[in-house]
Structure 1
Amino acid sequence: MQVIRQRKETGTNNVQGSKKMAGLERKYSSSTEQHGRQEKLFGFSFTELASWNSFVKLMSRPTDPAALGVLRFLYGILLMIDTLEKKGLGTMSFRKWEKCTFPVLYFLKPLPLDWMYLIHFILFITTIGIALGFMYRWCLVIFNVIYWYIHLLDMQKWNNHSYLFGLLSFLLLTADGNRYLSIDSIVWPKLRNQAVPLWNYTLFRFQVFLLYFFAGIKKLDAEWLYGYSEKGLSKHWVFDVFRPFLSNEMIDLYIVHRFGFLLDLTLGFILFFDKSRKTGILMALSFHAMNSQIFFIGMFPYIGIATVSIFCYPDWPRKVMSRILFWKSRPPVYLKYNHHCLYGDDGKAYKENGDQMIHVNGRKQKDTSKSLRPGAYHVLCTVFVILYIAEQIFLPFSLGILFKGLKTWGGELYGFTWNMMIEKHIADVSIFVKDLETGERVDMSQSMLKFGVGNRWAYTPVMLTQFTQCIPKRLQAQGHSNFAINYDVWLALNHRFRQRVVDPNKDIMTARWNLFEDTDWWMPVTEGFWEMRKVKNRMQKEKDETTTKSYIADFPGNHTSFSINDINAINSMELLKGTVILETIGQANVTFEAGGKAELLSGKDY
């Protein structure tokens, strides 16, 4: 009986053990399937983010260099054209360095004109090296130094596109972009088809994703969502396809603004996932092709088209070539060993989709087991990835948190905040110089404005103070020694009423500006601008073709002067809101309330 009981117990234990093993197998199988789904969906498993070592290994995973090499080639070609056109080498437009400049760092100064010619020529030569992958790292070092010097030399020329070009050039400098389709890989065969670490692709994908996503976030602005930013864009021929069933107003609001907002906000996600990528590529190509026809923004649309390819699998150029040369059998490509990468325990490298790619070591005697453990290089690169991502996320929102002195009137400094096309400014600038000894105040706008380039400086506090520093040298040359400088800057933003931007009584020569503080002599946006813009739009629709109207808003206590010189025109003033005292030289003052009207006589000063 004991024997039988023991056998039964043994049988029961075996059954329980079998059930336990089956449960473990099911759990392992479920976990493996989950990891497989994550790999297929995201390109990595969440377990690779569970610890620091696993994350370092993920960032250092060996990856095909083909897509990176093609991006480098296309980007280099477009930079070459951009240097000839946008940077002025072909048109000699950088002669404007002889005028007033607005450097980010005050100690930066433009070189003499002959030297500016030289560095622009060197910049052009380096773009050839970048495109061909020849002396790749040296060309990028030289290009980045010159490019960022020129970029930081004048804030007035800043835009999001030139900032993006600088960022992409810096990322190429950090990446192994000469392992495919490069002269370097011919001169030094060990570089040819050498694997590159995954973080090379991660940063490029992140940067392009951020370009679209943050542009969408910035469009969460009433100015954009209600269709004021790019009003009238619907008249362009690229929107003719919508015209049979949509009016121009509806195209402006729903296609340009509302759909543009959704496109920017979602395009990065659509490009990231495999199942939606083809749709995303079609949307991105259409978007950038339209922009290239609507706006004069240099190479940005074409660089946007080129960077879309970075979201595809890293070996997509090889697949495309094999389909083009379908009649020619191509041997399998083996990625060579790169000490920048970390390899699996089996000594094999893995592609992003999980397929194995055999690792071939050019020097078989090298001990690849050292590449299984993260070294200082791999850790530093991973730290760099984290810091770069954190900095790029923070910087576009830093103006409201840290760098308050860089705010423009009604918005943000255009150049690194990704607030593309949201604000349209029309500026009218007057410069007054007051002799502090005699009290005489002279309008010197005509003689001083020619020393600036454009008018973006007039509605950005930091650039306005810099422009003010350009004036004394010229005034002293004219015999002035003790003076104050006042500005009367009027600005119309996105079809609003014109209003003052700068306190007209403030001497900007002695005005205080601080990078980390709001500017106290900067005028706020007038109250009720949203309501009054609707009134303006209604009045514009009601006026006939022979009538010209000007819309002005101002703060209590301020005054403005104007003259009526056209004797053939009938001029009048209508007050829409508030109270105004109209002073006519040589006549009694007249006070007007809302709704009041007055005829303005020719030849009179008011």
Structure 2
Amino acid sequence: MEQSRLFTPTNASSLVFLRIALGLLGGGDILGNGIYYHWYLDEFSGFTFSYYGFEWVGPLPEPFLSLFFVGGFLLGIAVALGWRFRVTAPLFALAFTYLFLLEKAHYLNHAYLFTWLAWLLALTPAWREFSLDVRRNPQDWSPQVPAWSVWIFPALMGIVYFFGGIAKMNYDWLIAAMPMKMWLQARSEMPVLGPLWAQEFTAYFMSWAGMLLDFSVPFLLLHKRLRWVALALLFGFHATNHLLFNIGIFPYLSMVLTSMFFAPDWPKRFVRWIAGSRDNSGGRSGLLAGARSQVQRWVEGWQSVVSRSSGGTNAYWQYQARMMKPILAGIVLIIGVHILLPLRHWGFNSDVAWSEEGHRYSWRMMLRSKQGSGNYRLVDNATGEDEVINLRDSLSSRQYRKMVTHPDMILQYAHYLHELRLREGKDVAVYGRFRVRLNGRKLQPFIDPETDLASVQWQWFGSKQWVLPEVMPTENPVGE
């Protein structure tokens, strides 16, 4: 049977590099969240915002939640080492998915992306080269993997870049350079670079450059001669973002995925170059020489181990042939979902930056600055008694900051308050009084204060009349 190009045998080196990088980055991210949000801030001991459809996911009781963060970190290390990969990789993906679903107020685009990457990695034969599994069972060694298991990752990263650029093609970002002006002004006191950030030209340059780079970089990376130019531009782009903004592991994750656009054997050639490099005198000397010698010993030791392999490669490729149609269908489905989700906001009669309809899962990264404030007024339906809920007393600062600008979270907490009062024997109406500012404009009413949110049910599609539209000033029609 003729193989599709997606099943062509391809060098496994870049997939191995990805396995190691994702294991270390993901494991470190799980532990970092545990250290900061759980042990330091204790944010999972009270109310948590869940994703609709995943209301059943909640914080584990102690000591199991603490064990989860430690265990997730160890699973990442196991994945990086390729130890019991077919068990630890799905468990690692499950752990990261649980972390992602644990608190909606912590939503980050790169966390959503990483969740997909972790599950996809678990489905690949990333453990069949340079892993503890192969060292234990050399007969499972395969220096080649099907092309789909390598190219699915840069394909996803290309979608992220492309739709990130498309999302930046709006009035605020390109014509008003907002919110870039606000962000850079806030960093004008930074040593050395502060005066540069204070210049208005810098905000326009970075806004346009970011849009053009995101939009064009997938195509540049597909061109062999322009690939290195794209890599240099992306390195500068992500380094600047890391300097200016607190965006976690995203710059590192992006560079790792960008490297997947290069020839699949680039890590192997890089290791050979290090192992074979010599100083100008033709000999080896110093710490660098010692490191090179150690790398060479590792390479030679690995080659001696896998040289005992026999029979595993043929059985593996026979399995791939049987799975060709299901794998192909799965790839088409995954790519289709990631193309359609960023377009869904066009199905809503609202501005996505204001209403948040279609914002998540759409690679609308660092696009708007929103601040808000508000509270709830509870009215007892039997007695007419009023009660005002001060949210800062019951939510963490991050939860409050996110909730007051996201209608779904406002509705979710309104239902929570209603259920609390029902358990106390009171039937109350819940009215939201929230005001929001988008990209430096004036505060405006965000939620209809006359709508009883306790009687409103969440709907995935359709107009939400209880979310008030932004009223644009006629003298400065930003966003029209």
Q: TM-score range by the shorter chain?
A: 0.7 to 0.9
Match of 1:319 among 265, 269, 278: 269
Give SS of 2:63's match.
helix
Q: Does 1:511 align with 2:459?
A: no
Say if 1:148 and 1:501 are closer, same or farther in 2 by CA, change over 3 A.
same
Q: CA deviation at 1:394?
A: 0.9
* Aligned residue in 2 for 1:263: 213
Task: Tell me the SS of whatever aligns to 2:465.
Answer: coil
Match of 2:60 in 1: 111
- Write the distance in 2 (CA, Å) between the matches of 1:367 and 1:397: 42
Could you tell me how far 1:257 is from its partner in structure 2? 0.4
Looking at structure 2, the residues matched to 430 and 242 of structure 1 have their Cα atoms a distance apart, in angstroms, of 37
Q: Which has the larger radius of gyration?
A: 1
Please tell me whether the aligned partners of residues 392 and 400 of structure 2 are also in contact (alpha carbons under 8 angstroms): no
1:462 counterpart = 2:408: yes
Alignment partner, residue 151 of structure 2 = 202
- CA distance, structure 2, for counterparts of residue 239 and residue 311 of structure 1: 36
Correspondence for 1:186? 135
- C-alpha contact (below 8 Å) 1:242/1:251 kept by paired residues: no
- Contact kept? 1:497, 1:533, Cα under 8 Å: no
The corresponding residue for 1:387 is 333
Shift of 1:180: 2.8
Residues 512-548 of structure 1: CA distance to partner in whole angstroms, max 9, x if unpaired? 33112221111011143671679xxxxxxxxxxxxxx
Residue-by-residue CA offset, 1:200-246 (whole Å, 9 max, x unaligned): 112011011111111001111112112012223445479967967x9
CA distance in 1, matches of 2:464, 2:477: 26
1:151 aligns with 2:100: yes
Show CA shifts across 1:99-120 (max 9, x none). 2222222333332243222222
Q: Does 1:250 align with 2:198?
A: no
Counterpart of 2:19 (choices 72, 78, 82) is 72
Q: Does 1:491 align with 2:436?
A: yes
The Cα shift of 1:165 comes to 1.2
Counterpart amino acid of residue 362 in structure 1: S
Which runs of structure 2 are paired with 1:392-471 in the superposition (5 Å)?
Answer: 392-401=338-347, 409-445=354-390, 449-450=394-395, 453-471=399-417
Equivalent AA in structure 1 for residue 470 of structure 2: V
Q: Which has the higher helix share?
A: 2
Uncovered stretches (5+) of structure 2, i.e. residues with no partner: 279-292
Change (3 A) 1:243 1:451: closer
**Do the aligned partners of residues 148 and 364 (structure 1) sit closer, same or farther apart at CA in structure 2, a change above 3 Å counting?**
closer
| SS, match of residue 119 in structure 2 | helix
| Structure 1 counterpart of 2:426 | 481
Q: Which amino acid aligns with 2:164?
A: A
Shift of 1:416: 0.9
The alignment partner of 1:481 has SS state of: coil
User: Which residue is 2:245 aligned to?
Assistant: 295
TM-score by length of 1: 0.67
Moved more, 172-181 or 84-93: 84-93
Superposed displacement of residue 316, structure 1 = 1.0
CA distance 1:446–1:258, change in 2 (3 Å)? closer
Equivalent residue for 2:124?
A: 175
Question: Post-superposition shift, 1:122?
Answer: 1.7
Q: How far is 1:499 from its partner?
A: 0.4
Tell me what 1:25 maps to.
none
SS at match of 2:367: coil
RMSD value, Cα: 3.5
Q: Distance in 1 between matches of 2:50 and 2:311?
A: 51
Aligned length: 452
Calculate percent identity across the aligned residue pairs.
23
Matched residue, 1:162? 111
Asked if the contact 1:84–1:90 (Cα under 8 Å) also holds between the matched residues in 2, the reply is no
- SS of 1:491's partner is strand
* Residue 239 to residue 319, structure 1, CA distance change in 2 (3 Å): farther
Structure 1 residues 266, 274: CA separation in 2 closer, same or farther (over 3 Å shift)? same
* Secondary structure of 1:415 counterpart: coil
Equivalent residue number for residue 551 of structure 1: none
- Whole-angstrom CA distance in 2 between matches of 1:248 and 1:447: 36
Instruction: Provide Cα deviations, 1:186-211, integer angstroms capped at 9, x if missing partner.
Output: 11213334310000112011011111
2:173 alignment partner in structure 1: 224
206-215 or 68-77: bigger deviation:
68-77
2:285 is matched with: none
Equivalent pair of 2:127/2:134 in contact (CA under 8 Å): yes
Deviation at residue 68 of structure 1 after TM alignment? 1.1
What's the TM-score once normalised by structure 2's chain length? 0.84
